[in-house]
Amino acid sequence: MDLTAEIAKRRTFGIISHPDAGKTTLTEKLLLFGGAIQKAGAVKSNKIDMHARSDWMDIEKQRGISVATSVMAFEYEGMKINLLDTPGHQDFAEDTYRTLTAVDSVVMVIDCVKGVEIQTEKLMEVCRMRKTPVISFINKLDREGQDPYDLLDEIESKLGINVHPLSWPIGMGKTFQGVYSLYDKSLRLFKADKQQLHEESTRFEDINSPELEKYIGESHAAQLREDVEMLDDLYGPLDVNAYLSGDVAPVFFGSAVNNFGVKELLDAFLQFSPEPIGRMLDETEIKPDYKKFTGFVFKIHANMDPKHRNRIAFLRICSGKFQRGSNYYHTRQDKKFRISQATAFMAQDKETIDEAYPGDIIGLYDTGNFKIGDTLTDGDKGMYRGIPSFSPEIFREVINKDAMKTKQLEKGLNQLMDEGVAQLFNFQLGSRKAVGVVGQLQFEVIQHRLKHEYGATCEFAGMQLYKACWISSDDPKKLDAFINSKQRHIAKDKDGKLVFMAESKSWLQMVQENFPDVNFHFTSEF
């Protein structure tokens, strides 16, 4: 099959949501309908041995949350689907932000009871910034939730995107009968069943047919006809181009835990979601059908298999054809590497692959050569844009609790920082190390992984720090003068970049005024 045909059959998307909206459950049900797995895991219960398929780290199983992005690939209806399940918890937002650079579209899960929540708003900001096409799945219709019209209004007002319902619920909670598909004129009746994959549909070209009453009763039939007439007037047919440009979000309703509405979502997604899209390599847009191979690393994970202490670099293929055993140019290191091993993913399971195409996510075994943001090409020079480190919000000093395990602690911290779990800052004076994170839970994850994966123990002591600012200047002498005057507050990040550690907002403002020739950056990409 030629490159164009391979590109056309691929879809790469991420699933985002606020915690507990049902994102991981939906992920598993998509895998079930795709035939990739035979049995779903139990996301919430710690008493059940079979945990959610995409949550495989020990700490994820204990807490019932996703703290790392999982990559899963499967075939469905002749298409190759690359699905990325992201952390919902806000403390791991940076992992999700980076993952959004590697997808071409997004499915956003919203709890019909709680509506739009704060983490969904933050993630949607990133999608809008990148013009990422979004489909919304309103979940948990088997529970008593908000009025569907109110939910649509809330999505538009809080997320700043126009909506376009493609299905409509009939009742809710105890009265939930099913959904009516507005785009293929069919009725899908609800049946609470967490095990069976059933989603039989009945065609209703004419919704005024008296047959409708036989399925959902007179009152529901009357309400549905009224709703459909109003929705047709309000929205009309879907403008697919408006969806592809990120201006309109199609909306589906369902109950992922009961396998309801999932197949409809998946079928519609394949119908109009985007093929792999082009990306900027420095100042040049690289299209997927560009003959030469290019790709970038958006995630690194150490110890996916703790028995082998391996590191995997997750690479999004942007153009051309990847071939195992080939030599590819590593832009940052300015040299070629032979890629002898590459894997495809099904959560923790991996299989060796010989070739891959634009849109695919592959894993490269790594001995420390790759960092997040690295670009690999078939000879072209340049870096793919858009994977910065953001200034953290919480800082703690690392205190080693076992001097005999100093090397293990150093290795563990460096590898976890390469993964992007958090950011490490080494102060110029003394041997102090500060870890910066987005949320408190990240400290627990770091401690847990250091202990169980590296045999190192540490504590985190509080620090009076407001912001980590990357610094630069067009005048090297002015920069040196600034560093000499603020030595106690100067650190380096894991890449050796200079960082000013500001203790308070007001002090930072004063320093900026006193040193106008020094630039203070709040992301590492400048």
Predicted confidence at residue 50, as pLDDT, reads 36
Domain boundaries, the chain: 3-174+237-272, 279-377, 394-521
Nearest Cα to Cα of residue 394 among 460, 438, 447, 442 = 438
Nearest Cα to Cα of residue 416 among 451, 373, 384 = 451
Cα 445 → chain centroid: 18
CA distance 194 to 256: 9
Residues written for the chain: 526
Domain at 279-377: CATH code: 3.40.50.300
Tens of pLDDT along 242-300?
999 999 999 999 999 888 989 889 999 999 999 999 999 998 999 999 999 999 999 88
CATH 3.30.70.260 fits 3-174+237-272, yes or no: no
Strands (E), 331-380: 335-338, 342-346, 349-352, 355-356, 361-366, 375-377
Whole-model pTM?
0.78
Taking CA 500 as the corner, what is the angle to CA 491 and CA 298, rounded to the nearest 5 degrees? 75
**C-alpha separations of 320 from 290, 315, 360, 430 in Å:** 6, 14, 11, 48
Q: pLDDT at residue 79 above 90?
A: yes
Domains 279-377 and 394-521 are alike in CATH topology: no
Taking each helix axis from N to C end, the angle separating 93-100 and 118-130, rounded to the nearest 10 degrees, works out to 30
**What topology is assigned to 394-521 in CATH?**
Alpha-Beta Plaits (3.30.70)
Per-residue pLDDT, averaged over 381-396, amounts to 82
pLDDT band at 193 (very low <50, low <70, confident <90, very high): low
Nearest Cα to Cα of residue 16 among 108, 111, 89 = 108
Higher pLDDT, residue 472 or 34 = 472
CA distance 446 to 66: 15
Higher pLDDT, residue 362 or 39 = 362
